[in-house]
Structures are given as C-alpha cells and as structure tokens.
Amino acid sequence: MTAPLLIGMDSSVYVRIARLAALEKGVALERQHLDPFLPGGPPDWFLALNPAGKIPVLRHGDFVLTETQAITAYLDEAFSGPPLQPTEPAARARLRQIQGIVDAYAYRPMVWGLYVALSEGSAKPEEVARATAETRRALGLLARLASAPWLLGGAVSLADCHLAPVIQYLTAVPPGRALLDEVPPLAAWFRRCRARAGWAAVLDAVGPEGGRDRAR
Ligand SMILES: N[C@@H](CCC(=O)N[C@@H](CS)C(=O)NCC(=O)O)C(=O)O
C-alpha cells in the first residue's frame, strides 16, 4: 500500500500531534496542505472527507480517518516500529486519560484562551483570567499523572505526542511560559520533548499558511 497521506497545515496542534506520532513510529507521511480557516471555509473535496471541517485527515489507500486520537492509534497499530502505546491495561488507560485531558481541558484555554488571544491582542482581561485558571487546573491534572522522563515512564508514547504541541503554543506567550514554570516537572518534561530528535522541527513548523498569529 502507498504511504499514508496527512491532510492539514503545519501550524495546527493536531497535525503536529499526528506528525510526532509518525516521526516516533518511523512512518514517512505524504503531506497535503489544507488551511481550514481560509475565508469561505474548507473546500468541498475536504468536507467530503471530514464533514466536521477539522484537520488533520489521514488517508491510507481507501481508508479515510479523522480524529487525532484515532489517527495516532492507527499509525501505532498499523505499522511496525517502536510501540507508542503500552499493552498493560492500566498504563494504556492512563494514556487515554491524558489524551482526554489534553483535548477537553488543555487545548482550548492554552491555545485559544491564552496563545491566540494574547498574541492577537484581542484578549479581554476577564477571558484571560478564566483561561489562566483553566490552564492552571489542566496543568495540575496532568502533573498528577505525569511520570518521568516521559509522561508514561521510560518510553515516549502517544501521550507525549498529544501534549507537547499544546504546550508549545502555551509557552509562545510569556504568561503561558510562566504558568508552565509553576509546574517544574512538566517544564522539565517539555524541555526533554524539544530536545528529542526531530521534535523541535515539528513543534515549530509553519507551512504556507504563514506565521499568522491566529487559529490553531
Ligand atoms: N477533534 C479533532 C480536533 C481537530 C481540530 O480542532 N483541528 C483544528 C486545527 S488544530 C481545526 O481543524 N479547526 C478548524 C475549525 O475549527 O474550523 C481531532 O482530534 O482531530
């Protein structure tokens, strides 16, 4: 079968998560650029693949997959390479728990509530205060679960791939950096992520969509 095709743009948190999983797995992805935020919305061909209009979409032969947790699990399970999910039930459940926390409690306040709002200068003080409180709570939830050196212990997993791109945006604004520094074990974990081979290039990637300080 041909290489899997990842559709989306480099600056997207969720595209970066899928790319980190592929990198760790040693899977070479084909790429197709798609900016879902262009005026007029995504094109019809893309909405036919994902009516939700969200990136990324993975295409592998005739198989089309949306939702990043499903995409990264598929990359891990359908390809050879180092396993990125534990097999022991409790550890595997911990992985799903961390992914759920990132999606439900971290992405929105950290990326939109702090990074986008502060870098666009569109921040209303009460909204920043709420995003700050929600970010603190999410970092606290994650810190209670995090092992070292990686979130699940000795080996990098899909949990690390899922959280690092969100923290990348959080730390791109000074108040976000300060919030991460309040949680030294997570700050140290993120330094390890950025130092890991190939990760900084994915975490810093911006494609043809350009360096617009907006929606991720
Ligand atoms: N639940 C989706 C979320 C993906 C997502 O939110 N992607 C953002 C970019 S990082 C997006 O496509 N946003 C377009 C929009 O909201 O219109 C997943 O896990 O893949």
Verify cis geometry, omega within 30 degrees of 0, for the bond prior to 51: no
**Taking CB atoms and a 6 Å cutoff, what residues make up the pocket around ligand 1?**
12-14, 36, 53-55, 67-68, 216
Query: How many CB atoms lie under 10 A from the CB of residue 56?
Result: 29
Task: List residues bridging with 32 in a β-sheet.
Answer: 7
Q: Give domain limits for the chain.
A: 5-83, 89-202
Q: How far is the CA of 4 from the centre of ligand 1 (A)?
A: 19
Cα distance between residue 111 and residue 215, in whole Å:
8
38 burial (CB, 10 Å; 0-12 / 13-18 / 19+) is exposed
Question: Do residues 105 and 138 lie in contact, with contact meaning Cβ atoms separated by under 8 Å?
Answer: yes
Inform me whether the pLDDT recorded for 1 exceeds 80: no
Q: What is the pLDDT of residues 96-135, one digit of tens each?
A: 999 999 999 999 999 999 999 999 887 899 999 999 999 9
Under 8 Å CB-to-CB from 127, ≥6 apart: which residues? 113, 117
**Which residue pairs from 149-153 have beta carbons closer than 8 angstroms and sit at least 24 positions apart in sequence?**
149/189, 149/192, 150/189, 150/192, 151/98, 151/189, 152/86, 152/91, 152/94, 152/95, 152/98, 153/91
Under 8 Å CB-to-CB from 189, ≥6 apart: which residues? 146, 148, 149, 150, 151, 160
Ligand 1, closest atom to CA 13?
10
Q: How far is the CA of 159 from the centre of ligand 1 (A)?
A: 18
Task: List residues bridging with 59 in a β-sheet.
Answer: 5, 64
pLDDT of residue 122: 79
Inform me whether the pLDDT recorded for 171 exceeds 80: yes
CATH class, domain 89-202, is mainly alpha
Q: Whose CA is nearest to atom 2 of ligand 1?
A: 67
Strands (E), the chain: 5-7, 30-32, 57-60, 63-66
Equal CATH topology for 5-83 and 89-202: no
Structure tokens given for 91? 């550890």
Question: Do residues 53 and 41 lie in contact, with contact meaning Cβ atoms separated by under 8 Å?
Answer: yes
Q: How far is the CA of 108 from the centre of ligand 1 (A)?
A: 11
Inform me whether the pLDDT recorded for 57 exceeds 70: yes
Using 50, 70 and 90 to split pLDDT, how confident is the model at 86? very high
Strands 5-7 and 30-32: parallel
- Type of residue found at 188: A
Maximum CA extent, the chain: 52
Inform me whether the pLDDT recorded for 159 exceeds 90: yes
5-83 homologous superfamily: Glutaredoxin (3.40.30.10)
